[in-house]
A and B are shown apart, each in its own frame.
Chain A
Amino acid sequence: MADLRFVAPTTIADALGELGEEGAIAVGGGTSIGLLVKNRLVDASKLVYLGRVRELAGVHLDGEARVGATTTLRELSRSAVVADALPVLADAAGRIGNPRVRSLATAGGALVHGDPRQDLPPVLLALSAIAHLASASGTRSVPLSEFFLGFMETACAPDELVTSVSVPLDPSRRAHYIRYTPGSEDDYPTVGVAATVSVAPDGAVTAATLALGGVAEHALAVPEASQLVGGRPDAGAIRALGEVAAAAARPTDDQRGSSGYKRAMVEVMTRRAFEACLG
C-alpha cells in the first residue's frame, strides 16, 4: 500500500493529533494490526505507532492499579507490582500466545482490538477495570462493562486513544482465570472464565464478579455473580451460578468448539473458577 503512511509520535498530544486525521489507526505492539495490514483487512491511510510515547507505558499504583496502554503482556507478567496487586492479571498475561506475542502485544491493544476470543478482556472485566480515553477534545473514563459494544467494536472512537486502564485495589479480593485451548497452548481459548470474590474476615462474600471470553460477540460480564454476596457460598450456590453463566453465554460454532460444548464448558469452568477463589 504505497499510500499508507507510518508515524511514530512521542507524546500523547502528538498521537492524538495524528489520530484526529481521517483513516488513521493506532498501533500498540502491532501483533494484531500487523496481521490485519498484511492481509489487507484494514482500510487505513496512516498507522500511528504508540511505542515511542513514554507516557503510555508502565504500571503504577496510586490507590488503584493503573496500567498504561502500551504496557506489554511480558511486562504485565513480570512486573512485581502486578504480581503483588493483581496476580490474576500477571498469570493471564504470562499465558497468552507465545513469548514473541508477549514481547509486543499491549494491554490497551487487547481492549481496543475488541476480539471476543482474547484473554485480557474477561480478566479486566472481572476486575471491574475502567478504560481511560483521550482525544483532542478531552478525556473520559468508561467502565469495561460499557466498553465492549460488539464483535471488534468498542466505545473507543476513531479519534480516541485508550491511554490507560485502571483496576480498583481490594486486598480481600481473590481472583482466578481459567482458559481452555483445544489446540496448542498458545492458541486462542475456546472459552475463558474470570471470577473474583471478595471475602470479609468472617468469611462472608462482600463482592463477586464473573466474566466470560469466547462465548459472545465480545467479552461478557455476568452480573448474576452477585448472587454469591452476603453468605458463605456452598457447592449448590456455585453450581447454580454455573448454570446461570451457561444460560447467559451466547456462543457460536467454530473451529474451537461447538456452541453446545462451549456452553457446557462455561458451566464447568465457572464452577471451578469460583471454587478456586473460595478454596
Chain B
Amino acid sequence: MELRFKLNGEAVEADVEADTFLVDLIRLRGLTGTKEGCGVGVCGACTVVVDELPVSSCCYLALMADGAEVWTVEGLTRRDPALVDAFVEHEGMQCGICTPGQVVSAYTLAREHPGASEEEIRTYMSGNLCRCTGYVSITEAVQAYVSRG
C-alpha cells in the first residue's frame, strides 16, 4: 500500500504493508538514529514526532502517518542544534541507546511545557528509560534545553 508523508521536512513516498511499523520504515531509509528497544512502546528509545506529538514508532502503524509530518532525531537536531549542545554539555548520555529517544522527548517537552520545572521534566520524561545514567545528567540536560533563552 502506498504511503506519502513528510520525513524531516522532505516528501517521501513508500510502499508498505498494513502491518509495517514506522520504526522499520524510518530505519530502512537509513535513518538509524531511531532505535527499537523494548518493542512494546514502553522504553521510549524509538520516540519520533508525528504532527508535533511524540509517538512510539515501534508500535505505530506506518500507514497512520499518511499525510503527516514526521521528524526523527536526525531532523530535529538539525533543526535545533541546541538540543545536542545541551546533552553534550551535561553529558546526558552513557551507552547511547536511549539517547535519541531522550533527545526527541526533550524536544516535545520544551514545546509543550516551556520552562518546565525539574519535577515536570522528571514526570514527562519518565516514559524514556535509561539503564546507565541514573537520570541526573539527562534531567540536567533537558533542564538546560527547556530553560534556554
A residues at B contact (CB < 8 Å): 1-2, 4-6, 8, 27, 30-31, 33-35, 37-38, 47, 49, 51, 74, 97-101, 103-104, 184-186
B residues at A contact (CB < 8 Å): 1, 17-19, 21, 39-42, 44, 47, 50, 53-56, 59-61, 63-64, 66, 105, 108-109, 112, 123-124, 126-129
On chain A, the residues within 8 Å of B64 by CB distance are 8, 27, 30, 49, 51
C-alpha spacing A35/B59, complex, angstroms: 6
Please list 23 pairs of residues, one from A and one from B, whose beta carbons are closer than 8 Å in the complex, sorted by A's number. A1-B19, A4-B17, A6-B61, A30-B60, A30-B61, A31-B41, A33-B61, A34-B59, A35-B59, A38-B19, A47-B61, A49-B61, A51-B64, A98-B126, A99-B53, A99-B54, A99-B124, A101-B127, A103-B54, A104-B53, A104-B55, A184-B129, A186-B127
Q: A1-B19, A103-B55 are in contact. Are A98 and B63 (CB under 8 A)?
A: no
Which single residue of chain B is at the shortest CB-CB distance from A72?
B53
Q: A99-B124, A99-B127 are in contact. Are A38 and B59 (CB under 8 A)?
A: yes
Q: A8-B66, A38-B21 are in contact. Are A186 and B60 (CB under 8 A)?
A: no
Q: Does the CB pair B61–A4 fall under 8 Å?
A: no
Min C-beta distance of B83 to chain A, whole Å: 17
Interface of A is mostly: mixed
3 residue pairs, one from A and one from B, having the closest CB atoms? A98-B127, A6-B18, A34-B59
| B50, B63, B128 — most chain A CB neighbours (10 Å) | B63
C-alpha spacing A104/B68, complex, angstroms: 14
Q: Does the CB pair A186–B17 fall under 8 Å?
A: no
C-alpha spacing A185/B19, complex, angstroms: 29
Q: A38-B21, A186-B126 are in contact. Are A74 and B53 (CB under 8 A)?
A: yes
Instruction: Give which listed residue, B17, B44, B112, contacts A1 with CB less than 8 A.
Output: B17
On chain B, the residues within 8 Å of A31 by CB distance are 41, 56, 59
On chain A, the residues within 8 Å of B126 by CB distance are 98, 184-186
Q: A30-B64, A47-B18, A98-B127 are in contact. List 11 more A-B contacts (CB 8 A).
A: A6-B61, A30-B60, A34-B61, A97-B127, A98-B128, A99-B112, A99-B124, A100-B47, A100-B54, A185-B126, A186-B127
On chain A, the residues within 8 Å of B53 by CB distance are 74, 99, 103-104
On chain B, the residues within 8 Å of A186 by CB distance are 42, 126-127
On chain A, the residues within 8 Å of B44 by CB distance are 98, 100
| A5, A31, A99 — most chain B CB neighbours (10 Å) | A99
C-alpha spacing A103/B128, complex, angstroms: 15
Which single residue of chain A is at the shortest CB-CB distance from B129?
A184
Q: A1-B19, A37-B19 are in contact. Are A101 and B124 (CB under 8 A)?
A: no
C-alpha spacing A47/B129, complex, angstroms: 31
Q: Does the CB pair B41–A100 fall under 8 Å?
A: yes
Q: Does the CB pair A101–B41 fall under 8 Å?
A: yes
Which single residue of chain B is at the shortest CB-CB distance from A40?
B19
On chain B, the residues within 8 Å of A5 by CB distance are 1, 18
On chain B, the residues within 8 Å of A34 by CB distance are 21, 41, 59-61
On chain A, the residues within 8 Å of B105 by CB distance are 99
Min C-beta distance of A15 to chain B, whole Å: 15
Min C-beta distance of A86 to chain B, whole Å: 22
On chain A, the residues within 8 Å of B54 by CB distance are 99-100, 103
C-alpha spacing A100/B17, complex, angstroms: 23
On chain B, the residues within 8 Å of A97 by CB distance are 127
Q: Does the CB pair B18–A4 fall under 8 Å?
A: yes
On chain A, the residues within 8 Å of B19 by CB distance are 1, 4, 37-38
